Amino acid sequence: MYLRSNDRPGPRLALRVAVLSGVAVALFGVLFFRLWDLQVLSGSEYLAEAKNNRSREFKVIAPRGDILDRDGNVLVDNRTSLALQLNTQKLPEDPAEERAELTRLGHLAHMSLRKVRRTIREGEEVAAGAPVTLRKDVGYDLVYYLEENQRRFPGVAVQRVFVRDYPDGSRAAHVVGSVGEVSEDELKEASYKDLEPGDEVGKGGVEYTYDRYLRGEPGLTKIQVNALGQPTPGGQLVSEPPVPGDNLKLTIDPEVQAAGESALASRGLPGAFVTMNVHNGQLLGLGSFPTYDPTVFTEPMTQAQVDELIRDPVLAPLTDRATESYYPTGSTFKIVTALAALEGKVITPSTSIFDAGKLTVGTQSFQNAGGASYGPLTLVPALEVSSDVFFYELGWDMWNTGQLQRWAAKLGIGQESGLDLPGETEGLVPSRAWRNQLYKEGNTERPWSAGDNIQLATGQGDLQMNPLQLAIAYAALGNEGTIVTPHVGMEVEDAAGRVLKEFDPKPRRRIHIDPASRTAIMEGLHQAAQGSQGTSYGIFGGFPIEVAGKTGTAQRPPHADQSWYAVLAPYPDPRIVTIVTMEEGGFGAESAAPAALQILEAYFGKHASSVSAAGTGLAE
């Protein structure tokens, strides 16, 4: 069959065919060059990605090191736990589907939908992008159920994790501290540069201070998976085991710590105790009441649960009252006044001051506790009976010299001590410059006066210090002028018990104390504890070890009087100092002194064989 001339394609149709043919050629060209790019130019790259899709890498968390007391007893170790975790990035995008999954998940975890969402929100605030732990210590029945229903719970997994374990419950809780997930702000710090969201770090106590030793190094497991992302039989490719953290041995003496905590708890009053080696600053005991059980931090906590722990400003169980609180100290401060007066040549040990029961300055009268009067006194009997008037006179004599404030500073009062625990307070030693500045700014009704210094001389007024600072001041008297650096870290050990590092911080400074001044004050403290007229004779009079101790009763409006006791033992060459304070405990001899006795009984009971027959020596 032949086409007639009028059946031939027209010019417009030919043009359309040519355009379509050109487009087709261009498309085939693009496809060809794309295939060329994929298979030839980028082939190796995509081949590597394909191989990577056949494998999965998992970080293996390293167990933290144990925390031990000085005798090697475990205060903190680890246990394994199954944790229910959710990768929020794998949740359904549809809000209704997401809600449905979270509701199902809440039923499994025994959590309301609201609590699940709150836990997710708070977890992402701490470590954005990391899997959120909804619950720890889940049972194997839940594990099996999730394995059988993986498609209904995308992003949900049960992981085996290490959880901190506390064999003795709350023992030394404020010392050991707690751990938690690293925060976004912490990840920006150099000390956490190798960590990822979801990793755990120390959050308080020695867990925080010595985190770099306790943390360890994570391992790595790489496995081969099939197209569904499931592990293939024998598919483990790489296995690098984690390196456990090193163990930390503390200076804490278990008998002293137990006795101190028991003494505080038995009286049920908020308070604290410190027992320290006067020569090297090792803390043998450090405790605060009320305390808390660190186990609560091993479970994910909502903000409401945290608030529950800290909301009561009176009980405040998370506050370490030994280092983070501050109070007036009452008559325990009199050793500072005595040193300032003796070293400043205001008095000598034989200077006599007449105690008529009160001191009147202008329109103000300052009286002895209970209205007592003792007549003429020198320093030793003034300390024995705790004459306020004797020390009021010294405060009056030094009110315009600043001598009392200078000696308080020399002894470390009103300053951070260098303690290896976070949160220590500085406190306050009131002075002319401090009060006059407040007056200038309109924050007080009057400038500095003699009455302020008179009050300070007996540890009253605006004085604010913590028990640890008082322990350092008494230790300086006991060791003849060394301002020690207190510490609880003693050494780092590996799993075999080999010592890797020791902690023995140098003293902050040494101050000169005239031997005659020290002898007089120590004798006064000895008489106060064990002399027949001593304020704590009823407590320590029959104690077989010679000691030097001082009661303190501090006014703390609107609260009832605060009870204090400070003791150096053995006398006259002490090796330890113990400080006890109890809020609203009344006179020092009522609450604090009996608690201090309980601590010393535990210490000297343990070291009975090292006490000399005369009861005045103690071996290292």
Question: In this predicted model, what pLDDT tens digit does every residue of 270-302 receive, in sequence order?
Answer: 999 999 999 999 999 999 999 999 988 877 665
Least confident window among 52-61, 86-95, 185-194, 390-399: 52-61
Q: What is the largest CA-CA distance in the chain?
A: 149
pLDDT score at 597: 98
Query: 263 and 169 in one domain?
Result: no
Q: Are residues 197 and 260 in the same domain?
A: no
Assess whether 596 and 541 both reside in one domain: yes
The answer for residues whose C-beta is within 8 angstroms of residue 357's C-beta and 6 or more apart is: 367, 368, 371, 372, 373, 389
Q: pLDDT tier at 77 (50, 70, 90 boundaries)?
A: very high
The band of 242, judged by pLDDT with boundaries at 50, 70 and 90, is confident
446 torsion bin: left (phi>0), alpha (psi -120 to 50), beta (else): beta
Are residues 279 and 288 in contact, defined by beta-carbon separation less than 8 angstroms? no
What are the C-alpha distances in Å from 300 to residues 132, 156, 293, 420, 554?
Answer: 9, 16, 15, 27, 41
Tens-place pLDDT, residues 551-574: 999 999 999 999 999 999 999 999
214 and 292 both lie in a single domain: no
Q: Which pLDDT value is given to residue 371?
A: 87
Cβ atoms of 127 and 184 closer than 8 Å: yes
pLDDT for 26 equals 73
Number of domains the chain is built from? 2
Residue 462, judged by CB atoms within 10 A of its CB (0-12, 13-18, 19+), counts as middle
Range of the domain at 595: 254-610
Domain-embedded: residue 271: yes
Compute the mean pLDDT over every residue in the chain, rounded to the nearest whole number: 87
Question: Tell me, what's the pLDDT at 39?
Answer: 65
For 187, 220, 248, the CA distances from 245, given in Å and listed in that order, are 20, 16, 9
Residue 534: how many other CB atoms lie within 10 Å: 25
How far, in Å, are 67, 266, 371, 438, 513 from residue 523 at the CA level?
40, 32, 25, 39, 15
> How much is the pLDDT for 99?
87
CA distances to 31, 43, 247 from 36, rounded to whole Å, are 8, 9, 58
Same domain, 104 and 239: yes
41: CB partners within 8 A, 6+ apart: none
Sorting pLDDT into bands at 50, 70 and 90, what band is 95? confident
* CATH at residue 554: 3.40.710.10
Section 323-331 average pLDDT = 96
Q: What is the pLDDT of residue 55?
A: 60
Instruction: Output the pLDDT for position 506.
Output: 97
Tokens standing for 475? 């230790």
Do residues 181 and 202 make contact, with C-beta atoms less than 8 angstroms apart?
A: no
**402 inside domain:** yes
| One domain for residues 263 and 245 | no
Domain termination residue (choose one: 222, 250, 278): 250
The domain boundary, picked from 211, 229, 250, lies at: 250
What share of the chain has pLDDT > 90, as a percent? 61
The fraction of the chain above a pLDDT of 70, given in percent, is 85
Predicted local confidence at residue 205, as pLDDT: 97
Report yes or no on 74 lying in a domain: yes
pLDDT score at 207: 97
614 pLDDT above the threshold of 50: no
Q: Which of 250, 270, 297 is the last residue of a domain?
A: 250
392 within domain boundaries? yes
Q: What is the pLDDT of residues 143-167, one digit of tens each?
A: 777 777 777 887 787 777 888 999 9
Distance CA 488, CA 251 (A): 5
Same domain for 321 and 414, yes or no, is yes
